């Protein structure tokens, strides 16, 4: 009958339009969406729920903060801290784009001195995403973890997400090596991080490896990593010389994530 035919026609047109929109998206946009949903799932696995008060340590441009804010909802609150405010404008833009600006408060603070800014037991959960690798003074790691644990409520959790260095992918191995060699990024052993969590007074300390299952081409990697102005020339040069050939030959996979966590008794 006529209504059914019209419905089928409209459905077919919508399906065709949606496929066209999908093809219009760039590979870089698709990668960004995949990374967002990956981080959203990581935040969910940390135990974040609606109405919680969460502190995000080392928020940077806020890409992980957004996911935390989406989960706590309008009844929750996220305090995003970073030792620098150089990415603050970009972070605000990202928060507004995802419509979670009202849930987030930015505080410029040193992760090793949180007790100078916050009262003890202020938050339900403390999270960080790739904080440890950015430490310029790795010897401060025990102090930082203790500082984080201090501001978490009893019964709460500290959850830290870091790149896994246990990869068999040649391109991923080269990527982590370049981060360490040039960026001086810090990739401590899992035992080191677990020991810091225990020393901070946390119990039920564990680590899990979360597969990312996100792959991308060399072209997308270039656009997402070395086309940025802030990437210094030596890094760009060595990526093209040492990393690019392995990406072209073997492909590139976003390294798996290690989730370290402990409970505050």
pLDDT band at 4 (very low <50, low <70, confident <90, very high): very low
As a whole number, the mean pLDDT across the chain is 86
pLDDT at 206: 98
CA distance 134 to 149: 19
Provide the whole-model pTM: 0.85
Sign, Cα dihedral of 102, 104, 105, 106: negative
For residue 5, with 0-12 CB atoms within 10 Å meaning exposed, 13-18 middle and 19 or more buried, which class applies? exposed
DSSP string for 210-240: E----EE-HHHHHHHHTSSTTS-HHHHHHII
Phi, psi (rounded to 5 degrees) for 175: -60, -50
Domain span at residue 137? 2-263
Q: Is 13 helix (H, G, I), strand (E, B) or coil?
A: helix
pLDDT in tens, 162-218: 999 887 788 888 888 888 887 788 999 999 999 999 999 999 999 999 999 888 776
122 contacts 94 by C-beta, under 8 angstroms: no
Sign of CA dihedral 134, 137, 142, 144: negative
Per-residue model confidence as pLDDT tens digits over 78-110 = 999 999 998 899 999 999 999 999 999 999 999
Does residue 62 contact residue 95 with C-beta atoms inside 8 Å? Answer: yes
212 C-beta neighbours (distance < 10 Å), count: 17
Pairing of strands 252-253, 53-57: unpaired
Q: What is the pLDDT of residue 3?
A: 46
pLDDT of the residue at 1: 44
Residue 32 has what pLDDT?
A: 86
Condensed to tens digits (0 to 9), the pLDDT of residues 24-47 reads 467 778 888 999 999 999 999 999
| Sheet with 104-108, edge to edge strand ranges | 104-108, 77-82, 53-57, 123-129, 152-163, 257-263, 203-210
For residue 80, give the CATH number of its domain: 3.40.50.150
Q: Is the pLDDT of residue 18 over 80?
A: no
Q: What is the DSSP letter of 86?
A: T
CA 244 to chain centre: 24
Q: Does the pLDDT of residue 224 top 50, yes or no? A: yes
Q: Which of 125, 104, 103 is nearest to 47 (CA)?
A: 125
DSSP 8-state secondary structure symbol assigned to residue 151: T
The 3-state DSSP class for residue 155 equals: strand
Q: How many distinct structural domains can be found in the chain?
A: 1
Choice between 173 and 119, residue whose per-residue pLDDT is larger: 119
């Amino acid at each position: 009958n006529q209504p059914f035919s019209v419905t089928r026609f409209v459905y077919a047109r919508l399906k065709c339009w949606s496929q066209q929109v999908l093809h219009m998206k760039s590979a870089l946009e698709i990668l960004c969406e995949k990374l967002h949903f990956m981080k959203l799932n990581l935040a969910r696995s940390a135990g974040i729920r609606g109405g919680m008060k969460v502190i995000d340590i080392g928020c940077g441009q806020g890409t992980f903060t957004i996911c935390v804010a989406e989960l706590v909802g309008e009844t929750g609150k996220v305090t995003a801290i970073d030792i620098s405010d150089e990415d603050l404008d970009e972070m605000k833009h990202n928060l507004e784009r995802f419509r979670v600006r009202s849930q987030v408060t930015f505080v410029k603070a040193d992760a090793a001195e949180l007790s100078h800014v916050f009262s003890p037991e202020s938050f339900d959960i403390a999270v960080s995403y790739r904080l440890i690798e950015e430490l310029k003074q790795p010897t401060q790691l025990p102090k930082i973890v203790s500082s984080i644990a201090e501001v978490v409520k009893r019964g709460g959790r500290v959850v830290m997400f870091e790149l896994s260095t246990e990869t068999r992918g040649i391109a991923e191995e080269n990527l982590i090596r370049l981060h360490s060699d040039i960026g001086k990024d810090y990739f401590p052993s899992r035992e080191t991080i677990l020991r810091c969590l225990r020393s901070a007074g946390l119990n039920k300390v564990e680590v899990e490896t979360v597969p990312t299952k996100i792959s991308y081409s060399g072209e997308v990697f270039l656009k997402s990593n070395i086309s940025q102005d802030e990437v210094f020339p030596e890094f760009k040069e060595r990526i093209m010389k040492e990393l690019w050939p392995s990406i072209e030959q073997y492909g590139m996979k976003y390294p798996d994530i290690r989730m370290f966590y402990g409970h505050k008794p």
